[in-house]
Amino acid sequence: MLAKGWNARLPADTLMKDLIDIHPTASSFKIILDKVKHHAKYSMKDAFEYAKQKWDKSHKVPHFKVGDLFFVSTLNLNNIKGPKKLKDSYIGPFVIVALHGANVIQVELSGDLENKHPTFPVSLIKPYQPADQVLFPIRNPTPLTVPPVKQSEDIKIKKVIKVRRLRGKNQREYLVINRNPVHEDEWLAESEIPHLDKLLRLFRHERRPQA
């Protein structure tokens, strides 16, 4: 830069232009930090408001519930047979079995997709609309086969996250996380948890402070 005959204006030059000390003291250094903090605070505020305005302008809050039918995008599904150019943009419909917040759903996958992760953001799904027989009387509706929601299967414990002792009884209950997300976290007695010793060893190991 010096070879081209000009000096770059650095942030430090802007921050220190109002200082009277050639060698900044502690008080001068505090003035610099205050200016940096003030500038960063309002820059982050402006960026947040701009991003929020852009998001609110185009985003619509989805309305769906467990049991609804949705198509799933094939954008990230690589095990679908056939040429990629002829692959359907959406497949399904699949039934919603769980909601994870306002923008994520879990569907019941079947067939070749059974081993795929069943959770999808709303940007990768499309609601299923059955054909209108009044507008399209000749169109034969495709028979739908909706797999049943697996709610009756045995509960499989993933881990123990909390322990409590029942008041007035020499008995403990354990708050557990289930492997099947259909089942919510729940308190279970010792007799209801298979392989409790193994789960408790993992629980104590995770609570042990790391050296």
Q: Where are the domains of the chain?
A: 62-149, 157-207
CB atoms within 10 A of CB 25: 10
Average pLDDT over the chain reads 75
The CATH number fitting domain 62-149, selected from 3.40.30, 3.90.1530, 2.30.30, 3.30.1370? 2.30.30
Question: Is the per-residue pLDDT at 162 higher than 80?
Answer: yes
Burial of residue 93, with CB atoms counted within 10 A of its CB: 0-12 exposed, 13-18 middle, 19 or more buried: buried
Residue 184's closest CA among 202, 164, 161, 166?
Answer: 161
Helix (H) or strand (E) holding 106: strand 104-107
| Nearest-10 Cα torsion for 61, 65, 71, 72 | 70
For the entire predicted model, the pTM comes to: 0.43
Same fold, 62-149 and 157-207: no
Strands laid side by side in the 172-178 sheet? 157-165, 172-178, 186-189
Class of domain 157-207: mainly beta
Share of the chain above pLDDT 70, in %: 74
Contact indicator for 158, 144 with CB cutoff of 8 Å? no
Quickly state the pLDDT bin for 152 (edges 50, 70, 90).
very low
